[in-house]
Amino acid sequence: MKEGQSITEFLMSYGWVILVILSAVGVIVYLNMSELCNMGSDISCDFRISQDNSIHLMLRNDRGEDLTDVSVRIAGCTESPEADGDDPWYKGTILGGDYGIMLTSCPDTLVGGVGSRVQTDIILVYTSSDGILYVKTGSLIGKVKE
């Protein structure tokens, strides 16, 4: 502070700088800690990234209509033998509102250990009840868990 300057004058002069710095730090911390699975407004998703190089993806159809010919791909991953057709999101018809789980093996995507950050794309292809083919790309950001 300059001589003769009060605390109020100091904060009025430099308060905006302090606010910008605190906001930037907050954004950086949020981006480093956040987990995100985004497929748009009509498909919701949840996931778990495991240290065995797999992503367990759960999707929910919020479109309010039946979808057919559904396929899900995660960039850098291959389909897991556990996703054997019992999963309604894997190679088949899903009903409006139903959940599905897809297990995938991702040796190229998951190169770090527990706590490492993963960012990849999800590609969802389906046919709506009116026969229109949709290709949606979403994003998945998270950390590897045990």
Q: What is the spatial distance between Cα 52 and Cα 93, in angstroms, rounded to a whole number? A: 29
Q: What is the spatial distance between Cα 92 and Cα 145, in angstroms, rounded to a whole number? A: 30
With bands split at pLDDT 50, 70 and 90, how would you rate the model's confidence at 137?
very high
Angle at 128 between CA 124 and CA 134, to 5 degrees: 40
pTM, 2 dp:
0.65
> Average per-residue pLDDT in the chain?
75
Q: What is the mean pLDDT of residues 58-66?
A: 79
Q: Look up residue 81 and give its two tokens.
A: 């033998």
Q: Which residue has the higher pLDDT, 106 or 123?
A: 123
**pLDDT number for residue 132:** 92
- By three-state DSSP, how is residue 127 classified? strand
**pLDDT number for residue 135:** 93
Domain ranges of the chain: 1-33, 35-143
CATH class of 35-143: mainly beta
Q: What is the mean pLDDT of residues 2-11?
A: 71
With bands split at pLDDT 50, 70 and 90, how would you rate the model's confidence at 142?
confident
CA distances from 145 to 6, 28, 53, 126 (A): 51, 21, 10, 30
Q: Look up residue 85 and give its two tokens.
A: 């057709």
**pLDDT number for residue 85:** 45
Give just the sign of the alpha carbon dihedral 101, 129, 125, 141: negative
pLDDT exceeds cutoff 80 at 97: no
Identity (one letter) of the amino acid at 52? D
CA distances from 74 to 17, 29, 127, 140 (A): 42, 26, 19, 9
Q: What is the mean pLDDT of residues 49-66?
A: 80
pLDDT exceeds cutoff 70 at 80: no
